[in-house]
């Protein structure tokens, strides 16, 4: 049996996912979807602003203290990932067989890895305004990956 079928069968018989799919309550599926939307909005938005600063925009903002925001960004990442996994669990077949899903996961995994890589490097960036080339390259990739993740997420519903 294919892994997707096994997951679908598990989801179909799991009490939690049955409740999540069938409950008309706004506290069920809509709340999970909201957590995903809000978590990603803050995570992607704050990351993109910090990325833009690292790429040379808004030079008046000191770089190193921005590292302190990564704890909040990390909370946003967890909120988004956990709610995303719950939504995936409630409907594995539709999502796993969507042609854009692998691309979205690629963007998401890369963006999270880049967030981890940026955190320490931002903290040790120093007060001088010129950002090292490695940091700029990571920031450029991070910006593209967050934008890609958002776009892939929106386009998935149309594939």
Partner 1 sequence: MQAWWLVPFCKTLHYFGIAVLVGIVGLVDLRIFGVAKALPLRPLQRLMPWAVVSFLVSAASGYVLLRINPANSLGPPVNIAFAAKIVCLVLVGLNDVLYFSTGLKRQVDGVGAGESTSASAKIVAAVSIALWIGVVYWSRMMTFLAGAI
Contacts with partner 1, residue ranges (CB under 8 A): 26, 30, 33-34, 37-38, 40-42, 44-49, 58, 60-62, 64-66, 68-69, 71-72, 147, 150-151, 154-155, 157-158
Cα 100 to the center of its chain, rounded Å: 15
In this complex, which beta carbon is closest to partner 1, that of residue 45 or of residue 89?
45
In this complex, which beta carbon is closest to partner 1, that of residue 122 or of residue 138?
122
Distances (CA, A) of 117 to 92, 135, 136: 30, 9, 12
Cβ at position 96, least distance to partner 1 in Å = 20
Question: Would you state the structure tokens that stand for residue 148, as one six-digit string?
Answer: 């890609």
Q: What angle do CA 82, 87, 88 make, to 5 degrees?
A: 95
In this complex, which beta carbon is closest to partner 1, that of residue 4 or of residue 101?
101
In this complex, which beta carbon is closest to partner 1, that of residue 42 or of residue 101?
42
Cβ at position 10, least distance to partner 1 in Å = 26
């Amino acid at each position: 049996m294919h892994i997707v079928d096994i997951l679908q069968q598990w989801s179909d018989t799991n009490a939690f996912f049955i409740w999540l799919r069938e409950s008309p309550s706004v506290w069920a599926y809509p709340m999970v979807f909201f957590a995903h939307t809000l978590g990603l909005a803050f995570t992607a938005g704050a990351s993109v602003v910090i990325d833009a600063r690292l790429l040379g925009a808004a030079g008046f903002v000191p770089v190193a203290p921005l590292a302190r925001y990564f704890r909040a960004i990390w909370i946003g990442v967890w909120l988004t990932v956990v709610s995303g996994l719950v939504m995936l669990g409630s409907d594995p077949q539709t999502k796993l067989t969507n042609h854009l899903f692998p691309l979205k996961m690629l963007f998401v995994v890369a963006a999270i890895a880049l967030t981890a890589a940026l955190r320490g490097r931002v903290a040790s960036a120093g007060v001088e305004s010129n950002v090292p080339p490695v940091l700029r390259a990571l920031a450029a990739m991070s910006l593209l990956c967050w934008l890609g993740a958002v776009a892939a997420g929106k386009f998935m519903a149309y594939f």
